[in-house]
Amino acid sequence: MSHYEAPIREPLVIGEKSYHDITEDIARPIEGKANKNWYMAFYIALAAMLWGFGCIFYTVGIGIGVWGLNKNIGWAWDITNFVWWVGIGHAGTLISAVLLLFRQKWRMAINRSAEAMTIFAVFQAGLFPIIHMGRPWNGYWVLPIPNQFGSLWVNFNSPLLWDVFAISTYLSVSLVFWWTGLLPDFAMIRDRATKPFQKKIYSLLSFGWSGRAKDWQRFEEVSLVLAGLATPLVLSVHTIVSMDFATSINPGWHSTIFPPYFVAGAIFSGFAMVQTLLGIMRKVTHLEDYITRLHIEYMNMVIILTGGIVAVAYATEFFIAWYTGSPYENYTYMSVGAATGPYGWAFWSLILFNILIPQLLWIKKIRRSFIWSFIISIAINIGMWFERFDIIAIVLSKGHLPSTWWRFEPTFVDVGIFIGTIGFFFVLFLLYARTFPVIAQAEVKTIMKSSGEHYKKLREQGIHGENH
C-alpha cells in the first residue's frame, strides 16, 4: 500500500522495528507505570492549575477590578492569552488536515500530539472570553438561542460573536477529527488490555472498531472529508480572531493585513509549541525513533516560512505607520513611538524573539539540532505572546486622544490566571500522554515499509519487501 520512496530520503522511523515493536512502543506509556518525572511534572502543573482556578474564582467573585485593567485599556493579558492560546491551537489542524491533503507522511509521527495540543490549547483559549466578561454568568447571552428577553438577539455585526462561532466550530471539528484518528489506536489498546476496567473504557472509546476492511475504508474516507472540512478552519479561526482588531478603529488595529498575518503568526506559534512539547515528549516517552531529526527539521522549515511572513507583516506595519504621516499612527505597536516609548522593552522583545532568533534556523546544523530547536521554540512562544501583548496593550495605551494615554500593569491575578492556564494545559497534556496513544501508530505502520529505516536498509541490500 505504501508508495516507493527514494533511498536517498531519510527514514521517518529509525531502528530495526517490526510492526509489533511499534505497538509495544506506543502502548508502553499507557500500560506501564508512570515514572517520578511524570508525577513531578503533573503535580507542578496541577498546583499551577489550582492556583489559576483560585484566581478565576476570585475574579468572578469580586470583579474584573482585581486585574490591572483601567478605563483606557479594557483588554490586556486576558485577550493576549486568548489569542496566544488560539494561535498555539493552530498547528494541530494544519498538521493533520492540510498535510494529510498534501500527503506529507512525516505528519504521522506528530499529528496526534499536535492535535491534542490544539484541543487543549483551545480549551485554555476558550476560558478567557468567558472570564474576561464583567458578568460571566450572563455569558450565554452571546449565543443566538431563543430567549425570554423578548426579541433580543445577538449582534451579528460584532467580531466577538464571530469569535464565538469560529472557536466553537474549530473545537468541535478538531475534536471529531482527532477522535476519528484515534479509533484504530484505541482499539489496539483495547485489544491488548488485560484489566477489565481498562478494557471497558477503551472499548467505549474505540466505538466498536473491529478492524475489518470496511472499517478501514470508512476511516480513510472520513479522514479525508474531515481534512477537507478542517482546512478552511485553519484559515478562518485566526482570520476571525484578527478581525477583533482589524474591524476596530484603533490605529494599529485597523489594518487590512491582519487576517493573513495572524494566520501565519498562529502557525508560526503553533509549530513552535509542537516543537516544545515534542522535544520533551520524545525524550520522556522514549519515542526518539519516531520523532526524528527529520521531523524537527521539517517543522523548523515551516517555522522559517511562517516566521518570515510575520516579519514581512511587521515591516509593512512599521512602514505604513510611518508612511501615512498621520499623527495617530505614531504610536502603533510597530512604530518609532512604540520603540522609544514606555513599552520599548516589549517592542524589542518582540523583534528579538520573533524575528531575530528564528533566523538562526537558516543554519542547517541548528535546524537539525534537538536542543537548539527546543530553545528557539521557547523563544518563539515568548515572542508570539509579546506580539499579542504589544498589539493589544501598546495600541490601547496610546488611543486617539492623548488625554486618554495610560499604561497597564498586571496584578497577581492576571499573572495567576495565565500561569493557571499553562498548568491546566499541561495537566491535560500529561494525562493525555499516559492514557492516549501519543503517536498514530496505525498510520505509522503504513509507512514502515516505505520510510522505515529497517526496510530501507533491507531494500538497499536487495532484499525486497513483501509488496515487491
Choose, by CB under 8 A, the member of 38, 54, 72, 260 that binds another protein: 72
Least distance between another protein and beta carbon 233 (Å) = 21
Residues 287-313 as b or e (16 or more Cβ within 10 Å = b): bebbbbebbbbbbbebbbebbebbbeb
Which residues, numbered 382-421, are part of the site for another protein (CB under 8 A)?
Answer: 396-397, 399-409
Which residues, numbered 260-299, are part of the site for another protein (CB under 8 A)?
Answer: none
Is position 135 an interface residue for another protein (rule: CB under 8 A)? yes
Is position 133 an interface residue for another protein (rule: CB under 8 A)? yes
- Within 10 angstroms of residue 280's Cβ, the number of other Cβ atoms is 16
Of the two residues 71 and 468, which places its CB atom closer to another protein in the complex?
Answer: 71
Least distance between another protein and beta carbon 350 (Å) = 18
Q: Which residues contact 101 (CB under 8 A, 6 or more apart)?
A: 224, 227, 228, 231
Choose, by CB under 8 A, the member of 14, 44, 98, 160 that binds another protein: 160
Is position 164 an interface residue for another protein (rule: CB under 8 A)? yes
Choose, by CB under 8 A, the member of 158, 198, 236, 316 that binds another protein: 158
User: Are 410 and 68 spatial neighbours (Cβ–Cβ below 8 Å)?
Assistant: yes
- Within 10 angstroms of residue 339's Cβ, the number of other Cβ atoms is 14
Least distance between another protein and beta carbon 173 (Å) = 22
User: Are 439 and 109 spatial neighbours (Cβ–Cβ below 8 Å)?
Assistant: yes
Q: Is 161 helix (H, G, I), strand (E, B) or coil?
A: helix
Choose, by CB under 8 A, the member of 27, 46, 50, 64 that binds another protein: 64
Least distance between another protein and beta carbon 74 (Å) = 3
Is position 73 an interface residue for another protein (rule: CB under 8 A)? yes
Is position 63 an interface residue for another protein (rule: CB under 8 A)? yes
Least distance between another protein and beta carbon 391 (Å) = 12
- Within 10 angstroms of residue 264's Cβ, the number of other Cβ atoms is 21
Q: Which amino acid is at 419?
A: I
Is position 256 an interface residue for another protein (rule: CB under 8 A)? no
Least distance between another protein and beta carbon 341 (Å) = 8
User: Are 380 and 272 spatial neighbours (Cβ–Cβ below 8 Å)?
Assistant: yes
Is position 71 an interface residue for another protein (rule: CB under 8 A)? yes
Residue 173, CA distances (Å) to 5, 8, 55, 207 in order = 32, 37, 31, 18
Choose, by CB under 8 A, the member of 45, 56, 109, 142 that binds another protein: 142
Is position 223 an interface residue for another protein (rule: CB under 8 A)? no
Choose, by CB under 8 A, the member of 23, 26, 45, 75 that binds another protein: 75
Is position 139 an interface residue for another protein (rule: CB under 8 A)? yes
Is position 252 an interface residue for another protein (rule: CB under 8 A)? no
User: What letter does residue 134 receive in the DSSP assignment?
Assistant: S
Dist. CA 411–CA 421, nearest whole Å? 16
Residue 47, CA distances (Å) to 232, 301, 335, 375, 421 in order = 37, 36, 40, 25, 11
Dist. CA 371–CA 368, nearest whole Å? 9
Burial class (CB in 10 A: 0-12, 13-18, 19+), 130: middle
Dist. CA 300–CA 373, nearest whole Å? 7
Beta-bridge partners for 438:
none
Least distance between another protein and beta carbon 164 (Å) = 7
Which residues, numbered 319-358, are part of the site for another protein (CB under 8 A)?
Answer: 325, 327-328, 330, 336-337, 339-342
Of the two residues 157 and 194, which places its CB atom closer to another protein in the complex?
Answer: 157
Which residues, numbered 449-468, are part of the site for another protein (CB under 8 A)?
Answer: none
Total residues in contact with another protein, by rule CB under 8 A: 61
Q: Is 13 helix (H, G, I), strand (E, B) or coil?
A: strand
Least distance between another protein and beta carbon 151 (Å) = 11
Dist. CA 447–CA 1, nearest whole Å? 9
Dist. CA 289–CA 311, nearest whole Å? 34
Of the two residues 70 and 435, which places its CB atom closer to another protein in the complex?
Answer: 70
Residues that bind another protein (CB under 8 A): 62-65, 68-75, 129, 132-136, 138-139, 141-142, 149, 152-155, 157-161, 164, 244, 247-250, 325, 327-328, 330, 336-337, 339-342, 396-397, 399-409
